[in-house]
Amino acid sequence: MTSLSCITSSISVTSSQSSSTPLFASVSGNPHYFLNFSSSSRSKRGGFKCSYAAGSGVKDDSRVGTIDVVADVKAERQIVVLGGSGFVGSAICKAAVSKGIEVISLSRSGRPSYSEPWVDQVNWVTGDVFYANWDEVLVGATAVVSTIGGFGSEEQMQRINGEANVVAIHSAKEYGIPKFILISVHDYNLPSFMLSTGYFTGKRKAEAELLSKYPNSGVVLRPGFIYGKRKIDGYEIPLELIGEPLEKFLSAVQNFTKPLNTLPASDLVLAPPLSVNDLAFAAINAVTDDDFFGVFTIDQIKEAASSIKA
């Protein structure tokens, strides 16, 4: 068996499923091959031709062969969505896929039961943030988006909205993830006794931890009521039938309602609803724009979404 060694050669492989960033590598073997690259999340297949140094005495050979190479093929952007199978999380996963971003979802329910084309392009990992195998989800990621949150008893809300997000923030920082986006909640002008409940104190605890650990790259998105098509136990609940008309109405009369914004709890009625798609694309804007960081209100979220949706 005769083998030919490339004196100087490189390979440029582009994934059709994610980034257009090429992978370069040195190889030995016949001058023409089809090359299979496999990583933990996907396989790559590409063609290459060896270029030989002048005077090497090696002639080009048109023979075609196939070899398999195990390699880490890193997308230009790879995000981890915590709670990716939920209402907001799935919208973020879908938006990321539409922008060619590689996505890993970590959630207790794993892969969603419904079938849509984008679902097959997400790496669905089943797990709990408190007991996660972070090597499986964080290695190679360029950003983490957390949609973790929920209601329950005081203790449960503190744990879900606060402690779970704090654990995720610490883990992302330890793994050197450069950016973290937290889906929080609108700063309602509620009475202090309502803001002291576990839901709000948990969210604010997570915000404070994020801005402390990621002062120049942490993103806090504060939506109010979020509407869209929400799937629960296989049934689709069209929240947009309520949210979309209300959003349009409040936007039309906001100049008249602004003086009322200082009244206690007025935001419960006057804070405009937000489309889940707008929230998702604002999160993707945060992922792709290194200058995007800080705390964002409902209006700022809409603005951020509009600049990237097209």
Give me the CATH number covering residue 94: 3.40.50.720
CB contact at 8 A, 292 and 285: yes
pLDDT band at 255 (very low <50, low <70, confident <90, very high): low
CA nearest to 103, candidates 43, 148, 143: 143
Q: What is the pLDDT of residue 233?
A: 59
Radius of gyration, CA atoms only, the chain:
24
> Domain end: 50, 73, 96, which one?
73
User: Do 209 and 272 sit in the same domain of this protein?
Assistant: yes
Q: Is the pTM of this model over 0.85?
A: no
State which of 65-74, 102-111, 191-200 shows the largest mean pLDDT. Answer: 102-111
User: Do 20 and 155 sit in the same domain of this protein?
Assistant: no
Average pLDDT in the 269-284 region? 87
Backbone φ and ψ for 276, nearest 5 degrees, come out as -60, -30
Helix, strand, coil proportions of the chain in percent (round to 5)? 35, 20, 40
User: Do 53 and 125 sit in the same domain of this protein?
Assistant: no
Backbone φ and ψ for 7, nearest 5 degrees, come out as -70, -50
Q: What is the pLDDT of residue 71?
A: 46
Average pLDDT in the 160-189 region? 94
User: Do 132 and 40 sit in the same domain of this protein?
Assistant: no
Amino acid at 54: A
User: Do 187 and 200 sit in the same domain of this protein?
Assistant: yes
User: Do 250 and 152 sit in the same domain of this protein?
Assistant: yes
Q: Given phi > 0 = left and psi -120 to 50 = alpha, else beta, which region is 83?
A: left
User: Do 195 and 282 sit in the same domain of this protein?
Assistant: yes
User: Do 180 and 284 sit in the same domain of this protein?
Assistant: yes
Higher pLDDT, 192 or 254: 192
> Domain end: 27, 44, 73, which one?
73
- Candidate from 3-17, 45-59, 141-155 with smallest mean pLDDT: 3-17
CB contact at 8 A, 9 and 27: yes
Which domain range does residue 285 map to? 78-309
Q: What is the pLDDT of residue 240?
A: 55
Q: What is the pLDDT of residue 76?
A: 74
- Candidate from 21-30, 84-93, 96-105 with smallest mean pLDDT: 21-30
pLDDT band at 142 (very low <50, low <70, confident <90, very high): very high
CA nearest to 272, candidates 238, 224, 221, 200: 224
Q: What is the pLDDT of residue 48?
A: 45
Average pLDDT in the 211-225 region? 96
State which of 34-38, 52-56, 81-85, 269-273 shows the largest mean pLDDT. Answer: 81-85
Number of domains into which the chain is organized: 2
pLDDT band at 196 (very low <50, low <70, confident <90, very high): confident
Query: Could you give the C-alpha distances from 63 to 46, 56, 117, 213, in angstroms and in order?
Result: 16, 19, 38, 55
> Domain end: 57, 73, 89, which one?
73
Q: What is the pLDDT of residue 261?
A: 60
